[in-house]
Amino acid sequence: MFGLGTPELIVIGVIVFLIFGAKRIPEIGKGLGGAIREFRDARKEISNDTSKQGKKEEPKPESSVESKLVKKAVNQVPGVKQVMDVKDKVDKVKQLLKS
């Protein structure tokens, strides 16, 4: 598993425990599990749709199924939505400073 042994995984687990705390870890796990489940379901739907059509169509970058799934999955993980909101605000400020 990526060259990580038991000691490295224990250190990573302790760091995650110290950063997020015992109450947040189950919430994060639940959010990540839900996101993974949605990605699997969407992948199955996409593969079924493309096999029925017989040819692949190029998705539009902003309206693609993948980008919608990423946005939905990101919003399910606790804390990530706030970080993305801050990032959007920083991007807006950068655009204002450029003009």
Question: Tokens 């079924």 — which residue?
Answer: 48
Give percent helix, percent strand, percent coil of the chain, each to the nearest 5.
Answer: 80, 0, 20
Q: What pLDDT sits at residue 67?
A: 74
Return d(Cα 88, Cα 82) in angstroms, integer.
10
Domain edges within the chain: 6-98
Closest CA to 64 of 37, 42, 34: 42
Question: Tokens 């169509």 — which residue?
Answer: 57
pLDDT 10s digits, 14-39? 998 898 888 888 888 888 888 888 88
Task: Tell if the pTM clears 0.75, that is, is over it.
Answer: no
pLDDT 10s digits, 30-87? 888 888 888 888 888 877 776 766 555 554 555 677 777 777 777 777 777 777 788 8
Total residues found in the chain within this entry? 99
Return d(Cα 29, Cα 26) in angstroms, integer.
5
